[in-house]
Structure 1
Amino acid sequence: MTTDSTETLQTARGCPFAPAEQHLRFLREQPVTKVMLATGREAWAATRYEDIRTILSDPRFSADRRHPNAPRLSKADGQMADSPLPKMLLEMDPPEHTQARRQVIGEFTVRRMAALRPRIQQIVDEHLDAMLDGPRPADLVKALALPVPSLVICELLGVPYSDHDFFQVHSAQLLNRAATEQERQHAVLELVIYLDKLITAKEQEPTDDLLGRQIVKQRESGEADHTALLSLAFLLLIAGHETTANMISLGTYMLLQHPESMEALRADPDKIGNAVEEMLRYFTIAELAMARVAREDVELSGTVIPAGSGVVMLANAGDRDPEAFEDPDRFDIDRDARSHLAFGYGPHQCLGQNLARVELEIVFNTLLRRVPGLRLAVPAEELSFKDDSTVYGMHELPVTW
C-alpha cells in the first residue's frame, strides 16, 4: 500500500503533556504517513512503537544526515551538510559507527557513572543550597536544571565551566528551528573554533578527563584523529546538557502537577528510578531528532517506503502507542517504562543514557527530600515551553517553597 497524503508535518505540541494531535492521529489512522516538511520536501513519518524500533535497528535505513534526501525539519538544517565537522556518531552507519562508538563507550558504563555519583550529588546540593538561600520565587531552570548537567558534562569532558554561558547560547541557537541558516552556521563555527583550541591544548598536555583519555588512547593505538575528537566533543557537549536540563524542568513540573506522585516518591525513594523512566517516556523530548533514509524499498504497517526516501520517527507518538504501553496517556510512576524510545533504540541508542539516568535520579531524590514545600510560583497557564526547539523543554519554571 502507498499513500498520496502530503499533509504538512506539525512540530509544536500544543499541550505540554501530549504529543501533537496530528501525530496521535497518524498513529491511530495511518502509522506510516507521507508528510510535507517545512523545507517543502516530502518525507515519511512513522509513529508506531514497533515500526520506530525497526527503523532504528534495521540496516536498510541509513543514519547519514548528509544524504541529499535526509529529512530536514527547517531550512536552516541544510547547513549541516556543509558543516566543518566530520560526521558525528549519530550520522554514521556501520562499520564506521561501530568502530567509533567502541572507542568511547567505556566512558559511559554503568560502573563509571556510579563512580560519579558523589560528585554529582555535591553539585546538586551546592546549587540547591544557593537556590534555598536566595530570593523567592526562583527560576528552577536557571538555578538547578541548566547548571547541574552543564557542570557535569564540562567536568566529564574537561571543558572549563567558566565558558558555559558561551556554549549554552550557541547550542540553544543550533537547536532552535526558527533560527536562520546564517545563525545556525555561526553557532556551529563558533563552537568548532572553541573546541578546536581546547583539544589542541589537551593534545599538547593530555588531561585526566574524557577528551584527554581519548587523546592518550589514540596515541597508544597510533590512530590520532583531531577532527574525530572535535566531532565527538561537539556532540557530547550539546547533547550532554540540553536534554538532561530540559528533563529536570519538565519532570519537576510534572511532579508538581501530580502531588500524589510526589508524596509516593518521598515515602519510597527507591521508586525514583522507575519514575524517571516514566518521565522520559511521557515527554520523549528529542522526538524530532530521529531521522533516517531508506536504502531500499521497505514495507512497514502495510505501507511501502520507497528506496531513497527520508523518514522521520515521531517517537513521542511511539511512546504513546497503546500496543506498547497500557493506558499510555496516564502518567504512572509505577509503570515499567524502561523500554521507552526517549534514548532511541538499536546501534545508535543514546551514548550518555546512563549518565542522564544518574543525574535525574539524584536531582529528583534531592529536590523532593530537601524542598518538601516546593510549588509553582505562577499559574500553570503562564509557563512557556520550547516549541521552537529540536529538544522540547521549558524556558523558565518559577517556583517557591
Structure 2
Amino acid sequence: MGQYGAEQLGPLPAFLKEGSEDVARFVTPAGDTMWLVRDYKLGRAVLTDKRFSRAYAVRPEAAKFNDAEPAPDSMVSMDGSQHARLRRVVSGAFSTGRIAALAPLVEELTDRHLDAVAAHGPGVDLVEHLAAPLPLVVLCSVLGIPPEDSNRFRGWVEVLFDISPSGNQEKARRRIALANYMKGLVERKRVEPRNDLLTELIKAHDRGQLTLNELLTLGLTLLMAGYETTVGQLGLTVLSLLTDHEMYEELVARPDRIAPAVEELLRLNPATPLTFPRVALQPVQLGSVTVQAGEAVMVAPLHGNRDAKVFIEPEMLNLVGHDAAHLTFGHGVHRCLGAPLARLQVRIVLERLLRRFPTLRLAAVDTPVTWKEDLATRGLSRLLVDW
C-alpha cells in the first residue's frame, strides 16, 4: 500500500484546503456563498435527496460557483422526469457491453500515442502526447465526430472549461462556433447516417423523444463532460504512481492488480473535486447545520473520498478495496454516465504505459509537473517524464 497524503493533491483553492467541518459555508470564485459538504454520508444524502434541485441551481437568481455552469436545457441541469427522459435516450450508449466493445479501439489509440511518446524520447510531456489527445479522439469516435475535426474541438472545449474572469468574450465566441459546428454536423448525418451516438440522437429526435435544441445541447454536454475530466484524471493517475515508485514497480510486476489500483487512484486523486451545485427547495438538516430554502450546496468528493469515518486508512492506496464506493463519479440519478468509459481509458492507459515503460519516472528537471489553473476540474498542463 502507498501513502497518498494531501500534499500530493497539488494546489487547491483555500476553501478546499482549509477547515474540517462536515458542512461549512464558503465563498465561491464568483463571490457567492454556498455550503460545502465534506462528509461522505451527508454528501451521498445530498446527491439523492429530491429536496435539493439542480434545475433551481441554474436559475439566474441562484448563487453561482463560476461561469462554467451548464445550460438550463442540459441534462445535468434537470430534475425528475425531464432529466430521466434525456438520460434514457443516451444511457444505452454507455452500457457495460457497449463500453467493453470500445476496448480494442482505446487500446489501438493508446498504442499509437505511446509510439509518439517513444519517438519523442525522454523528457516528453505525457499530457501533450497522451493524456490530452486520447480522450478527445475516443469521444469523437463515440459521438461520430470526424477525426480531422478533433484538434479544432480541443481548442474550443478547453476554453469553455476556463473559469478565470478574463476571456468571457472569447468563450462566448467559441460557444457559438461549437454550437454552429454541431448543428452542421447533425445536418450532414441526416443525409449520411453512421453507427454512432449522434446518429442515435437524431433518430430519437425524429421519434419525438427530444427537441433539436436538446439534441445539440446533449451532444455538446457529452463531449465537454467527458473530455476535460478524463484528461485531468489520466494525468493525475499517472502522477500519483510516479510519486509512489514501490507501487509503480508492483503494478509492472503484477498487471492483474492494475484494475483495483485504478479504483483507488480515482478515489484518492479525483479530477472532479466538487459536484455541481444544488439548491435546497425547503429547509434541510445536514448534520449540525440547517440549509435554508434557496441556499446552494456543493458536495466535495475530494474530501468525501478520504473520510476516515468511512474509509479505513483513507490516505493509503489499498488494493483490497473498501466496502464503500467512492464519490468521484457522483452518486444518485446524476451519477456520471461516462464513468465506465473513463475507467476503461485509465485502465488501458496504465496497462499499456507500465508494460511499455517499466522504468518510467518524473523527468530530472526543475519543474517536471505544472498544474492547470482556473479550470472547473483538476489536472496537469505538463507532465515531463524520463525512462
Using the size of structure 2 for normalisation, the TM-score is 0.91
Deviates more, 1:238-247 or 1:32-41: 32-41
8 Å CA contact 1:47, 1:315 repeated in 2: yes
> After the TM superposition, which residues 21-100 of structure 1 pair with which residues of structure 2 at under 5 Å, given as runs?
22-23=15-16, 25-26=18-19, 28=20, 30-64=21-55, 65-74=57-66, 76-77=67-68, 87-100=73-86
Distance apart, 1:128 and its partner CA: 1.0
8 Å CA contact 1:344, 1:350 repeated in 2: yes
Change (3 A) 1:173 1:14: farther
- The answer for the alignment partner of 2:344 in structure 1 is 358
- State yes or no: 1:192 paired with 2:179: yes
RMSD value, Cα: 2.2
- The answer for the alignment partner of 1:277 in structure 2 is 263
**Whole-angstrom CA distance in 2 between matches of 1:69 and 1:304:** 21
Change (3 A) 1:108 1:166: same
8 Å CA contact 2:361, 2:386 repeated in 1: yes
**Whole-angstrom CA distance in 1 between matches of 2:39 and 2:183:** 41
Distance apart, 1:179 and its partner CA: 4.2
8 Å CA contact 2:205, 2:215 repeated in 1: no
**Whole-angstrom CA distance in 2 between matches of 1:135 and 1:128:** 11
Distance apart, 1:17 and its partner CA: 5.1
**Whole-angstrom CA distance in 1 between matches of 2:8 and 2:105:** 36
* Equivalent AA in structure 2 for residue 202 of structure 1: K
Distance apart, 1:134 and its partner CA: 2.6
8 Å CA contact 1:36, 1:43 repeated in 2: yes
Residues 8-40 of structure 1: CA distance to partner in whole angstroms, max 9, x if unpaired? xxxxx98635866753653x3x32112222333
- State yes or no: 1:131 paired with 2:117: yes
**Whole-angstrom CA distance in 2 between matches of 1:280 and 1:145:** 15
SS of alignment partner, residue 79 of structure 2: coil
Distance apart, 1:329 and its partner CA: 2.2
- State yes or no: 1:319 paired with 2:305: yes
SS of alignment partner, residue 287 of structure 1: coil
Using the size of structure 1 for normalisation, the TM-score is 0.88
- The answer for the alignment partner of 2:192 in structure 1 is 205
Residues 334-380 of structure 1: CA distance to partner in whole angstroms, max 9, x if unpaired? 43387111100000000010111111111100100111121111447
8 Å CA contact 2:233, 2:270 repeated in 1: no
Distance apart, 1:210 and its partner CA: 0.7
Change (3 A) 1:130 1:382: closer
Deviates more, 1:197-206 or 1:295-304: 197-206
- The answer for the alignment partner of 1:3 in structure 2 is none
- The answer for the alignment partner of 1:10 in structure 2 is none
SS of alignment partner, residue 343 of structure 1: coil
**Whole-angstrom CA distance in 1 between matches of 2:173 and 2:274:** 22
8 Å CA contact 1:277, 1:337 repeated in 2: no
- The answer for the alignment partner of 1:109 in structure 2 is 95
**Whole-angstrom CA distance in 1 between matches of 2:115 and 2:32:** 50
SS of alignment partner, residue 285 of structure 2: strand
**Whole-angstrom CA distance in 2 between matches of 1:277 and 1:390:** 22
**Whole-angstrom CA distance in 2 between matches of 1:70 and 1:264:** 49
**Whole-angstrom CA distance in 2 between matches of 1:70 and 1:324:** 32
8 Å CA contact 1:70, 1:292 repeated in 2: no
**Whole-angstrom CA distance in 1 between matches of 2:279 and 2:250:** 44
Change (3 A) 1:382 1:102: same
8 Å CA contact 1:52, 1:318 repeated in 2: yes
The percent identity for this pair of structures is: 34
**Whole-angstrom CA distance in 2 between matches of 1:21 and 1:37:** 10
**Structure 1 unmatched runs, 5+:** 1-12
* Equivalent AA in structure 2 for residue 204 of structure 1: V
SS of alignment partner, residue 122 of structure 1: helix
Change (3 A) 1:255 1:338: farther
* Equivalent AA in structure 1 for residue 297 of structure 2: V
- State yes or no: 1:16 paired with 2:3: no
- The answer for the alignment partner of 2:153 in structure 1 is 167
**Whole-angstrom CA distance in 2 between matches of 1:146 and 1:24:** 27
Aligned residues: 380
- The answer for the alignment partner of 2:201 in structure 1 is 214
**Whole-angstrom CA distance in 1 between matches of 2:151 and 2:324:** 33
**Whole-angstrom CA distance in 2 between matches of 1:217 and 1:21:** 44
8 Å CA contact 2:205, 2:212 repeated in 1: no
**Whole-angstrom CA distance in 1 between matches of 2:208 and 2:227:** 32
Select 2:372's aligned residue among 378, 382, 386: 386
- State yes or no: 1:149 paired with 2:135: yes
